[in-house]
Amino acid sequence: MKKLILASQSPRRRELLAQLGYQFTCCPADIDETVQLHESPKEYVERLALEKSACIAKEQAETTLVLGSDTCVVYQNCILGKPENLAQATDHLTRLSGNTHQVLTAIAVVQGQFSKAVVVCTDVTFKTLTTQEIINYWHTGEPQDKAGSYGIQGIAGQFVKHICGSYSAVVGLPLYETAQLLAEFSCPTPVHSS
């Protein structure tokens, strides 16, 4: 079995990868997550997932697989990052209210000189939110460290009317695509057929 490292400290990504049956260690990557000039949301998440993986992989043996992931919430081609305060969260959630937005999650595997990334796009439709609902939600503490100011796996799940795509990708790690990508690097899940 190849050594596998998850380049993340996200408890959600850790739970999802463990759900697939992998044995792995976690090692968060410290990279600059600033969006570059003229960078599309897809290019942005793909670059960050690859940079996270590469950052950890350079300190590892050639045989070690490093899995990195990044998620961004996009509305009308604008990336909604993690909110710095209530005003920013209110702005994000007001935009998402009653509308459909995209959640892009990139996964990337780096092993020595080899790397590959995959981007998964999921459409998420919110119900119409009142200002009071947004304020109450902020005070739960949940939106503070979440892209787009919400966590679908938590309290905000009740805001979601419809989802088209991968639920696990919205949480932070697309299960199907992750299993397929790791299998390409000869690291199958325990139930994967060769």
E-state strands within the chain: 4-6, 25-26, 65-75, 78-80, 100-111, 114-126, 160-164
Q: What is the pLDDT of residue 187?
A: 93
Q: Which residues of the chain have pLDDT under 70?
A: 1, 193-194
DSSP letter for each residue of 33-47 = -PPPTT--HHHHHHH
Query: pTM for the complete prediction?
Result: 0.94
* Strand 100-111 versus strand 78-80 pairing type: unpaired
Mind listing the domains of the chain with CATH numbers?
Answer: 4-184 (3.90.950.10)
70 is catalytic: yes
Q: Which of 30, 70, 91, 145 is catalytic?
A: 70
Q: Is the Cβ–Cβ distance between 92 and 132 less than 8 Å? A: no
Strand-strand pairing, 114-126 and 100-111: antiparallel
Query: Mind listing the pLDDT tens digit for each residue in 122-156?
Result: 999 999 999 999 999 999 999 998 999 999 999 99
Whole-number pLDDT of residue 194: 58
Residue 2 has a pLDDT of: 84
- Please name the residues in contact with 158: beta carbons below 8 A apart, sequence gap of 6 or more: none
